[in-house]
Amino acid sequence: MLKNQFIPTTVVFFIGVIAFFIFKDSHHLSYWYLSGLLFIFLLIQSIGAYFIQFNFHLTSINSLATTEKKVLLTFDDGPHNPHTAKVLEVLKKHDVKALFCVIGKNIVGNEIILKQIVDDGHQLANHSYSHAFWFDVWSTKKVTNDIANCQQLINAYQASPQLFRPPYGVTNPNIAKAIKKLKLQSVGWNIRSYDTSTNDIEKIKQRVLSQLKPGAIILLHDRLEFMPQLLEKLIPAIKEKGYAFSNSIT
């Protein structure tokens, strides 16, 4: 698994560029070699940014530190009224704790739901204030301010742990600098349900079950209307496989 490879990869790329110009004439090198080097560099950067599990730009918690048959449910994009409230009812019914990665702008007007999340014993994580489409191309300063605005809202309900899940799971050097400055810990996942790609509850359930492993962190979205119905089927199915639910990311 890759780990914090942005700087080493960049150094290798520039060494390659320097070497190209040094040996270009003596070895009759075509500029196609330079184009190929650039393509490979950009490809590696893109893959590293998209797959949070590679820990390419920053180190994330992508699985629980356990070999026991325990998993953690995580929910992105809330709080949502009324869907998050219904998700909380199902979790309480099955005595399951989870991690809610909340968007700052969604907290405004839904403070009661956020308080209920904490009162029910669940954890909160920062999922940015805006969850803007262009979040991953913003400057470090803009990213930092956005995350800090969400963290300020979260801290009114939960002081620690201070967790952050990047919007869309995309990472880059600017996001890495921002969360380091804010002293946040990035959280990823190792089971993606793709619940935003289909509303077929049985298909989503089977996709999750097929990937179950000790320490799994499962990505779901509490803003989805069908999420309570999915949980009513998914939670018992996970328990039937002998798994318990962790009450904490750490």
The catalytic residue positions are 76, 221
Burial profile 63-75: b = 16 or more Cβ within 10 angstroms, e = fewer? bbeeeeeebbbbb
Cis amide linkage into residue 82, ω under 30° from 0: yes
Both tokens of 162, joined, read: 């201070």
Instruction: Note the Cα 237 to chain centre separation in Å.
Output: 24
**Omega before 161 within 30 of 0, i.e. cis:** yes
176 token code pair: 């890495």
Q: In whole angstroms, give the CA distance from residue 123 to residue 78.
A: 13
Decide: 79 and 222 in contact? Cβ < 8 Å: yes
Distance of CA 180 to the CA centre of its chain: 16
Task: Report which residue type is found at 108.
Answer: V
DSSP 81: T
